[in-house]
Structure 1
Amino acid sequence: MKKNQTHLLIFCTVLLFTSCAAPQYIHDTSSYERQKELRANRSGNVFVDIMSGVGSVFVAAMLDCEVDYVPSDQEFKKLKLVNPTNDTLYINMLTDLVWDNENYCDFMDIRIPPKLNCKVMVPMHAAYHLYFSNTPESEDDEMIQIYTTDVKRFTLTPGMTLEADTSTQEK
């Protein structure tokens, strides 16, 4: 019984550390730091929402009245980028959304190894241009636009935009 508890504790600890770590596939320093800031902001928002909800219940119980609590809108979400290919994918995510006074909320130099995925924290209600390729050179990049409110998981397959271009030209 004690052995099972030890294994469960180790598993939960590893799970906790991997879920809190910033994405390891972001190689651009400023993008990596921005990702850590977004995660910290989201954690702060979740904590404040939980404490506000508990406080509302406590006040309602103490005053014997009904207190309505409306949680704030979630500002960030996790976007899962999936690489189904046998090659490493090189991705740049560009947007016109400003993160601070000087910088856009862009994520550059994301490298996803073969058959793996990467979770990126992105702001809600943002349009991103994803430039991706299986080579590090930018000449052969494909571009696709996504809206963060519409998508949770996105599979990036080289050639997917080329097929769409040829089908529209054939019509």
Structure 2
Amino acid sequence: MKRLLTYIFIFGVILLAACSSPQYFHDTSSFERQKELKNTRSANVFGDIFLGVTSVCMAAAFDGEVEFYPTEQQFKKIILINPTQDTMYVNMLTDLYWDESNYCDFMDIRIPPKMECKVVVPMNANYNLYFSPTPESHDDEMLEIFTSDIKRIALKPNLTTLGDNNK
């Protein structure tokens, strides 16, 4: 019994850590939007699991075939990695609307040195990702990303510089 309680406790801690709020989001609207996206993604996953189990049970009970087609994935996790010794300031801008009047942008993400940040984003979306080791915008670097094509991004300074054209 004691061992079972230990396993339940460990599972609960892992579940709470997986469902924790985005800790590196310092813009209130971006923080709330990220929580909404995580909740929507979780609801979609649990809904698919429930429908799959129900479909299998119904097929077994009525001696039929399993006819379950999962919903198309709508969101995915992108990992932003800060390999530098400085805090990285990140803004992610898109032309995709989240609701009637707001874009699905994420502003003021601050990633500590040698850490990573998981961001849930919509699938098939184009984002302009601006990042720099300073909070000012004059030295930002920009990457264009398509969310379906990428999983991890290491935000290294001078990543977008192609070469010295001043020679």
Specify if TM > 0.5. yes
The match for 1:59 is: 58
Where do 5+ consecutive residues of structure 2 fail to align?
Answer: none
Tell me, what secondary structure is at the counterpart of 1:40?
A: helix
Could you say if the C-alpha distance between residues 16 and 67 of structure 1 is closer, same or farther in structure 2, counting changes exceeding 3 Å? Answer: closer
Tell me, what secondary structure is at the counterpart of 2:160?
A: helix
Could you say if the C-alpha distance between residues 84 and 98 of structure 1 is closer, same or farther in structure 2, counting changes exceeding 3 Å? Answer: same
Could you say if the C-alpha distance between residues 5 and 60 of structure 1 is closer, same or farther in structure 2, counting changes exceeding 3 Å? Answer: closer
The residue type paired with residue 153 of structure 1 is R
Question: Identity percentage over the alignment?
Answer: 58
Deviation at 1:13, TM superposition (A): 3.4
Matched residues in 1 for 2:47 and 2:55: separation? 12
1:142 maps to 2:154: no
The match for 1:87 is: 86
Could you say if the C-alpha distance between residues 157 and 40 of structure 1 is closer, same or farther in structure 2, counting changes exceeding 3 Å? Answer: same
Q: CA RMSD in A?
A: 2.0
Where do 5+ consecutive residues of structure 1 fail to align?
Answer: none
Tell me, what secondary structure is at the counterpart of 2:76?
A: strand
The match for 1:151 is: 150
The match for 1:36 is: 35
As a proportion of its length, which structure holds more helix?
1
**Runs (4+) of structure 1 moved beyond 4 Å?**
4-11
Number of aligned pairs? Answer: 166
Tell me, what secondary structure is at the counterpart of 1:143?
A: strand
The residue type paired with residue 157 of structure 2 is P
Matched residues in 1 for 2:55 and 2:18: separation? 29
Deviation at 1:60, TM superposition (A): 0.9
The residue type paired with residue 97 of structure 1 is L
TM-score when normalising by structure 1:
0.90
